[in-house]
């Protein structure tokens, strides 16, 4: 029987470099998804499918995901290509469905007119009907026009150019900088992409692009999206998290110093065993801050469902103003007490952050209780239990 979700310890996803992952997959050094869908640290309500459907809110929205790819991972072409492909696929399916309906109507109309002619000229030689011929030609032209949207390359002359441009971005054929991770760097000879482009010269069926789109989707899901969630869950900057975690370490050490001072100074048996409980609040808060910081979050921001600007959101600021600040001022401006703070809008992300708060507090309480009991039962107090 699986444990409730709030009891399952949350661990933020590990960072995964998209270029190294793509190369490793292409060379067979690792499978596509070694984690398995059921073992990832990403809640289903924040899955890639939800983000692509744009059903998530800031800072987990589709726009945020694109800004992350553009400014942090430098691979926005992957998302652009995949969204374009899905839209193009829908248009082709719609066109084929419309073509099928019109084809049935045309066949029904043609059958009705032929029957009428047969009844009218029953027993006589068939005669040519110019009106029927013109109507039939019109229906055939309509069917050809509908089919051409997905089966001929001459209907939309810009389509081939768009596909080649996207494919060049995805496969790196334009000589782009290696930091812009492409979707198909895993295949050194690009044979799959070349085959798709060769087929597109004869037909614009989206099925020719599906292998490329599937590979792009796997890279988005197994690399880009998990890295995006890793940063999105972190509600504070690196400086803020370090300060909060450092405070937790100081409080934890202070708890041990307090315990040793009360139990051993000026000598053993001087103080009551109830003095041991004085270290409990310091250990509890200290470990709580540490556990939150290890998962990339600031405990104080989590309590009030607030967050600081995420890395990709800072690109909206004035670059000239930021460049004029000194290193010390830049560091101080990114601390929680000086930086801007926003409310977390996405309900699923708030639930996940509340889960981190509760688990951190429980972990701190367990740690503080265990060590308090350990010192409490030592024969170093005036009165022992």
Longest dimension (CA), the chain: 129
- Dist. CA 124–CA 173, nearest whole Å: 68
Check: CB of residue 273 under 8 Å from CB of residue 380: no
Q: Quick one: average pLDDT of 42-67?
A: 91
More confident residue, 11 or 48: 48
Q: Could you tell me the pLDDT band of residue 11, with boundaries at 50, 70 and 90?
A: confident
Q: Quick one: average pLDDT of 85-112?
A: 71
Q: Give the per-residue pLDDT at 321.
A: 44
Three-state DSSP class for 178? coil
The domain segmentation of the chain, as residue ranges, is: 76-229, 234-376
Check: CB of residue 82 under 8 Å from CB of residue 195: no
Q: Could you tell me the pLDDT band of residue 104, with boundaries at 50, 70 and 90?
A: low
pLDDT in tens, 320-364: 444 556 667 767 777 877 788 888 989 989 988 889 999 999 999
Check: CB of residue 244 under 8 Å from CB of residue 236: yes
- Dist. CA 168–CA 367, nearest whole Å: 55
Scan for tokens 């010192």, then name that residue: 375
Q: Give the per-residue pLDDT at 82.
A: 92
pLDDT score of 99 more than 90: no
Check: CB of residue 57 under 8 Å from CB of residue 2: no
Q: Could you tell me the pLDDT band of residue 110, with boundaries at 50, 70 and 90?
A: low
Lowest mean pLDDT among 94-98, 252-256, 287-291: 94-98
pLDDT in tens, 127-176: 444 554 444 444 434 433 333 333 333 333 333 344 445 444 444 444 44
Beta bridge partners of 62: none
Helix 210-219 vs helix 191-200: crossing angle, to nearest 10:
140
* Model confidence, pTM: 0.68
Instruction: Write the DSSP string, 226-245.
Output: HHHHHHHH--S-HHHHHHHH
Q: Give the per-residue pLDDT at 319.
A: 47
Beta bridge partners of 342: 307
Q: Could you count the other beta carbons within 10 Å of the beta carbon of residue 6?
A: 12
Q: What's the chain's average pLDDT?
A: 74
Beta bridge partners of 307: 342
Q: Quick one: average pLDDT of 187-201?
A: 61
- Dist. CA 293–CA 242, nearest whole Å: 7
Q: Give the per-residue pLDDT at 90.
A: 87
Q: Give the per-residue pLDDT at 32.
A: 67
């Amino acid at each position: 029987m699986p444990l409730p979700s709030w009891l399952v310890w949350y661990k933020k996803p590990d960072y995964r470099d998209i270029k190294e992952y793509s190369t490793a997959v292409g060379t067979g050094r690792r499978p596509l998804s070694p984690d398995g869908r059921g073992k990832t640290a990403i809640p289903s309500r924040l899955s890639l499918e939800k983000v692509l459907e744009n059903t998530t809110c800031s800072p987990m929205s589709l726009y945020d995901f694109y800004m992350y790819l553009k400014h942090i991972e430098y691979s926005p072409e992957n998302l652009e290509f995949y969204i374009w492909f899905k839209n193009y696929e829908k248009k082709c399916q719609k066109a084929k469905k419309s073509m099928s309906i019109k084809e049935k109507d045309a066949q029904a109309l043609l059958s009705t007119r032929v029957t009428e002619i047969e009844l009218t000229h029953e027993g006589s030689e068939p005669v040519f009907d110019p009106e029927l011929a013109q109507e039939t030609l019109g229906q055939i032209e309509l069917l050809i026009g509908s089919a051409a949207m997905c089966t001929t390359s001459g209907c939309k002359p810009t389509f081939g150019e768009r596909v080649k441009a996207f494919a060049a971005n995805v496969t790196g054929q334009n000589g782009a900088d290696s930091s812009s991770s492409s979707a198909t760097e895993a295949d050194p000879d690009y044979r799959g992409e070349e085959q798709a482009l060769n087929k597109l010269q004869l037909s614009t069926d989206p099925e020719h692009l599906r292998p490329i789109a599937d590979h792009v989707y796997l890279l988005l899901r197994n690399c880009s999206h998990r890295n995006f969630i890793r940063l999105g869950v972190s509600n504070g900057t690196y400086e803020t998290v370090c300060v909060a975690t450092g405070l937790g370490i100081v409080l934890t050490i202070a708890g041990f110093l307090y315990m040793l001072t009360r139990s051993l100074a000026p000598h053993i048996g001087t103080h009551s065993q109830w003095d041991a409980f004085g270290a409990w609040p310091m250990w509890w808060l200290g470990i709580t801050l540490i556990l939150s910081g290890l998962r990339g979050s600031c405990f104080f921001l989590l309590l009030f469902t607030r967050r600081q600007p995420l890395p990709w959101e800072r690109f909206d600021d004035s670059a000239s103003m930021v460049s004029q600040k000194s290193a010390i001022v830049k560091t101080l401006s990114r601390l929680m007490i000086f930086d801007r703070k926003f409310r977390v809008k996405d309900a699923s992300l708030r639930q996940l952050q509340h889960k981190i708060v509760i688990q951190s507090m429980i972990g701190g309480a367990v740690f503080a209780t265990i060590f308090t009991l350990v010192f409490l039962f030592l024969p170093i107090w005036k009165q022992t239990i």
